[in-house]
Structure 1
Amino acid sequence: MKIRSKLFILIGTTIVALIVAGGFSYFHSYRQEQMSGELQDKQDLQTALKDLQFYIAGYSNDERAYLLTGDKKYTAEMADKKKSIVGLTKRLLPLLDEKIRKKSETGLTGYFNSSDRAIKAYDGGGKELAMTVHFGDERNIRKEVLNPVIESLDKKLEKELATAKADNKKAMMIQNTVFSGLLLLLMIGSVIFGTLIVRSIIRPIHLLNLNLKEIAEGEGDLTRRIRLDTKDELGVLAGTFDQFTESLQSMILRISETTSQVAASSQQLTASAEQNSHAAGHIAQSIQQVATGADIQMEKSAGSAEMIEETVQQLDVISANATHAGELTGIASGQAEEGKKYVSRTVEQMKQIEESVNITHEGIDELRGRSQSIGDIVSIITDISNQTNLLALNASIEAARAGESGRGFAVVAEEVRKLAEQSGQSAQEIKSLIEQIQHETGASSQSIENVKENVSVGLTVVQETEKQFHLIQESVTDVNEKIMGISGAIQLLANGSNSISQSADEMAASAKESSESAQSIAASTEEQLASMEEITASAQSLSYMAEELQDMISKFKI
């Protein structure tokens, strides 16, 4: 069930509860109004009965005053009171039994007839007769018929009024008790139902917030999953978050493996570069020795033309030097071949480093894409938080309209709104962290690009070094061949001075050429040493970057 449906059900349940409570209150208010109306009618009848008693007494007093004074105003007042008595009688007589009602009607008619006879007698000069009728027949009818009926009716109304008051009070107590119980039951049910719905919304949000906070702090457990059985928006969000965690876990595993390979490759590259530097140093020393020997030979051959005799005597020394030079060139040739092998290995390792750097670059690009996906998910969380906040505001408005009955629900709506604001703030913090990760990933990507450029340059330099080693080997071979020629020339010098002189000139030229070649090879070797130092520095930088990336990844549990 979606959150919107849950909130609609909660609001609908509250509205139904309010309608039920209001309907019950209206029904009992209507019933109470009816009972109060009946009670008021009985009180009005009791008042009318007292008025009737008052009008009858007043009618009798006005008649007696007229008989005593003869003032006509009393007869006018008697006529007014008679009308009031007749009106009240018509209202009260239906309350009496049939027998008593007929007796009352007969008595009232006789009373008015006696009054008319007294007035006529008084007007005809029979004052004594009028007094006799007034104090005789009229008094008897009033005391024996009218007053007992009025008193019995008054007692009946008093009894009915007391019973009605008691029933009304009892009904009021029952109504208040039932209404209070119903209202309490509805409030408890609304609180329980609202709590269950709010918990079903808050619990997944709390779990998501906790996991996102751990990932944002860089120490998240990427092996943990959120398992929600709900099919609402939070269930879908939890499933999406689990997919994101799995993707992030897989990506970090690949990055971890790649950084390990990069670190190992950089260490191998550093070691190979150091070996190449060491070998190049040996080659430089050997070439320097060859150059020194060539200089010595050139100096000696330059003076051999003038000192042929002396040269013949020094043939043994020259032969020994030639043999030593041949050994040196053989060593130099072997070292050049070994250096060529190391350079070939360096080329292969540089290619492996280039592949590792490309893999790392792809992993960082994929990390950047995943960071963008996280940003999209944070936007979804922010939208959900805003919608929840709006729903909480609407619920607060409805609760405010409900008045006192909706106060509890208003508190719940306020809590939901606070939680929505907290979720929105957490989502903004996550977004800021993701932007920082994207910024750092961009910097790492730029560093990898620099490493790729350095590796490409290093690969070119190493390949050029390989060519230089090949030239060194060819030069050393050439030197060796020339030294062998020198040995042959020495043998020819033993057969004749002219041959020795000619061979000395050739040896001087060859020695000069060998010296120049040795100097060129020495310069190339120094360039190779400088290139190896650059390769070593780049490899160390790559290893340091791989260690930093590995430290960042190790904060996650994968």
Structure 2
Amino acid sequence: MKNFNLSIYCGIYGSLLVPMLTWFLFQLLLGYVSIHEFLQILIPPKVWMVYVIVVFLMIYLYMNKKLKSMDSYLKNPSIAELPEVQKNITTMSKFLMLIFLLFLAFGPSTVILFEPSYTKMEYLLSELLVIALFFVFAIPWFTYTLMQIDKLTATIPLADGKAFFSMKLKLVINVVSTAVGTALFLIVLNISIVLPVFSVDDLKHLQSTIILKNSWIAILCLFAILINLYMLIKQLVVPIDEVNQALRNISHGEGDLTKRLATISRDDVGKLVSRFNVFVDKTHTLVKMVKDNTDLVASSTQQLTDINKNNYESSHEVVKAIDKVAQGATIQAADLSNINLTFNTFGQELENTSKHMGVIASKAQVTAVSASKDSERLTELIGSIFKIGSSFNEIGEKIKKLSENIHNINKITDVIKNIAGQTNLLALNAAIEAARAGEAGRGFSVVADEIGKLAEQSKVSSENIQLLLKSIDVDTEQVVKTSSEVSMDLNNQIHVIKGAMESFKLLIDAVNEIQPGMETALGMILQVNERKGNILEKVKEIASVSEETSAASQEISATTQYMNDELEKAYAYFQTLNALTAELQAQFNQFKV
């Protein structure tokens, strides 16, 4: 990058300095100025020197900014920065062309206008000389600068509408500049050679004639140059533009490969057009063949994609089915293992059941014997209850008689109570009469008082006896009631015991009936227990086969899953291939074949 920048700066400054230094040298050689006058022009400070420094500094600052922008893009390409970089490339050439024209118009040659050593003719010839030298010596340096910029930006894509310089413009600039510069240089040299031969008066007379004739010569030369340049452009640039336009139509336009270029040239341009047609023919054939093959590949790819998709879906279903089989085999193996454990437990329970059945059978026999004995005891208990019942009945009768005697005693106590009441009245009357008799009846009064007391005590005793009899009567009634209830309970107990006796009879009959069946069941349980071993062996064999089936199913599932994954990858690849084929078809459809 630094080498390119140095070459670019050398080209720019060379295109400005070389014509300027050559111009100074030719002024000395042609005798426009003496050595002393020449040195006076070069001795600083001079305005033209400041002008040159300012122009060179301005060129450096502008170009340095643009070159840094391109350097940044080249180190880190970015789509966002590309338009700006392409714009900078085109503006650099325009900037350099403008600088050359400004430097030519307002460069060091303008300062001699104020130098007294120059005549009017010498000033005119000096200006024509600087123009001729710039055209002759600056254009090669300028072309060299453009070539270095082209090399620097070779990797940056070209932009439509932002061409650096067209070939036609470059050809015009080089040919016209060289021709005009050469013509002007010859005119200046011709006039410079004639000037020393004539006197001042003759020069004044011949000045207009020399200028007019040389002007006509320059115009005729320029006209001839333009005609030749037009023919050259017609023969060279136009066919190349047609090739360029055809290539543009192929790359950015309709992509018509059926069109061909026509030319009447038999030179290198004709060969270029002919070879371009041959290239388009081969490209047309190749594109047509590739397009046909692409269509075939697209159709085949689509079919393969559909087949692969069907295989993938079928494989996916097979994987699901095998997974279910593997899961079922695993569950079956686990179930058989559980069944094996269950059968072992069942065998142990059968053994325990057979033992318990034996114990139950022996206990049932004992129960039958005990039930027979208990039935006999219940019969005796019923007899005892009947005796207790008859005894309670007798007690009840006696209590009833006691109750009747108590009622009779109550009657007697009532009589005694009445007698005591009457005796008490008689004692009261006797006391009254004794009180009337005075002293004579005092002893009688004492007897009457004692009789009254005895009557009162008899009454109280009668009442106490009566209360006691009432209490005894209540208790007697309660005893009678309790006796009746006990008698009823005894009757109920008799009915219950009779029911229990019936149940015991049924129990004895049932035990007698169950005992043979229990013995038969015990025999069958013992047979089942003996056959349990064979069942366990078969279950173990089936469990082993189920485990092997589960393992094989898992291996098949893993293999099928791997195949399914591979089919899925293949399906993805086919989809990618299908997309690429579609994209390729879209690209080929841009061409008209």
> By the TM > 0.5 criterion, same fold?
no
Structure number with larger C-alpha Rg: 2
Higher helix share: 1
If the length of structure 2 is used for normalisation, what is the TM-score? 0.28
